[in-house]
Amino acid sequence: MILVLRKDATSEQIKKLKEKITGLGFKIHESTGEERTILGIIGGNVNILQELGIETYPGVEKVIRVLKPYKLVSRDFHPENTVIEINGVRVGGNNFTVIAGPCSVESEEQIIEVAKAVKKAGAHMLRGGAFKPRTSPYSFRGLEKEGIRLLLTAKKETGLPIVTELMDPRDIDLFEEMDVIQIGTRNMQNYRLLTEVGKLNKPVILKRGYAATIEEWLLAAEYIASEGNNKIILCERGVRTFETATRNTMDISAIPLVKELSHLPVIADPSHGTGRWDLVEPMALASLSAGADGLIIEVHNNPFEALSDGPQSLKPKKFGKLMEKIKQLAPLLGKEI
């Protein structure tokens, strides 16, 4: 940690400041330039200094942290790529893994039909929401327990491992037979929930908060890892910006950057990332090309359309075409699918 002192810091202020810091067991490396004095603080847990509010001490202009605040999830700590195995499906390393399925589980017929369609097209896992976080209390919140049951049925029918979202620590027992737990964007900083899934021996997809920095995202992963669960898959799903033409702005550059900073696999969600079906394919291919380890994509039989064989019933077909393109490109990008 580095303290930049104010130009007008008095020698008395500097003296007191140094006494306090050394009194806490830190060493100080002082550097006096023409315009500012700088104190490098060495040793120990600098969190203590931040919690003591050292940036508010008289004479201090700014505090700069030098080290990354996360450890277990850092590539410094674990240089090799983490590869997670889920019932024979591998995520990370040179694997490219595709998770597909409907936003919500709506009925047995729907989930089985979609599961079979995505399996046929080459998807490796099935996603589907049983518990849905909804912006409005008047929207459909999912089939809940019944949704979990239907996902298990789909798993038995197709053999696809299941990915589904957990919103509340009190529901955790219901998820025992689910293969991967998803933590949604709005819960990325629900620390009690992170702590609970950290205690499980089950893979977790941790979506980036829609306004979370990369550092906060990795710290959220650190919460899980610090409880003992290292099976963490990070998922970029778009961040909130001033642009309203897309629901979110996918931060594609976060994919290669996080892969530099961390050993964890990183997948991308172009469905939520754009909010527009017509942009899913280009953004899926962009994610692959930027180094993503996989994708999570919404594929559905829209019941609105289904009533009339509308063009939305082509959705699984479009997904199939996307899978064909992915299979062509992946080998050129060092990925197996």
Segment 37 to 76, residues that bind a second copy, using CB under 8 A = 38, 40, 42-43, 45, 47, 51-54, 56-58, 64, 66-67, 69-70, 76
What mask, x for binding a second copy by CB under 8 A, covers residues 118 to 157? ---------------xxxxxxxxx----------------
Which one of 80-88, 112-120, 121-129, 253-261 is the stretch in contact with a second copy (CB under 8 A)?
253-261
Residue 119 one-letter amino acid: K
Q: Work out how close the CB of 131 gets to a second copy at its nearest, in angstroms, rounded to a whole number.
A: 9
Quote the CA–CA distance of 330 and 337 in Å, as a whole number.
Answer: 7
Q: Work out how close the CB of 300 gets to a second copy at its nearest, in angstroms, rounded to a whole number.
A: 8
Quote the CA–CA distance of 295 and 96 in Å, as a whole number.
Answer: 8
**Which is closer to a second copy, CB of 135 or CB of 201?**
135
Nearest Cα neighbor of 143 from 99, 102, 197 is 102
Quote the CA–CA distance of 192 and 187 in Å, as a whole number.
Answer: 10
- Only one residue has tokens 């180094």, namely 291
Quote the CA–CA distance of 143 and 129 in Å, as a whole number.
Answer: 8
What are the tokens at 134? 């909804």
- Which phi and psi angles does 245 have, rounded to 5°? -70, -25
- By CB under 8 A, residue 179 contacts a second copy: no
**Which is closer to a second copy, CB of 61 or CB of 108?**
61
**Which is closer to a second copy, CB of 83 or CB of 306?**
306
Which one of 115-123, 144-152, 165-173, 174-182 is the stretch in contact with a second copy (CB under 8 A)?
165-173
Q: Work out how close the CB of 161 gets to a second copy at its nearest, in angstroms, rounded to a whole number.
A: 25
CA atoms within 13 A on the CB side of 23: 6
Within 10 A of 138 (CB to CB), how many other CB atoms are there?
7
Footprint of a second copy on 78-117 (CB under 8 A) = none
Q: Work out how close the CB of 98 gets to a second copy at its nearest, in angstroms, rounded to a whole number.
A: 16
Footprint of a second copy on 267-306 (CB under 8 A) = 273-274, 276-279, 282-283, 285-291, 300, 302-305
Which one of 120-128, 155-163, 173-181, 188-196 is the stretch in contact with a second copy (CB under 8 A)?
188-196
Q: What is the full DSSP assignment across 138-179?
A: TS----THHHHHHHHHHHHHH---EEEE---GGGGGGGTT-S
Quote the CA–CA distance of 168 and 124 in Å, as a whole number.
Answer: 27
Q: Work out how close the CB of 5 gets to a second copy at its nearest, in angstroms, rounded to a whole number.
A: 10
- Only one residue has tokens 């390393």, namely 93
Nearest Cα neighbor of 165 from 116, 134, 131, 142 is 131
Within 10 A of 16 (CB to CB), how many other CB atoms are there?
14
Pick one of 25, 159, 228, 311: the residue that binds a second copy (CB under 8 A).
311
**Which is closer to a second copy, CB of 170 or CB of 176?**
170
Footprint of a second copy on 13-42 (CB under 8 A) = 16, 19-20, 23, 29, 31, 33-36, 38, 40, 42
Per rule CB under 8 A, count of chain residues that contact a second copy: 110
Q: Work out how close the CB of 41 gets to a second copy at its nearest, in angstroms, rounded to a whole number.
A: 9
Quote the CA–CA distance of 308 and 327 in Å, as a whole number.
Answer: 32
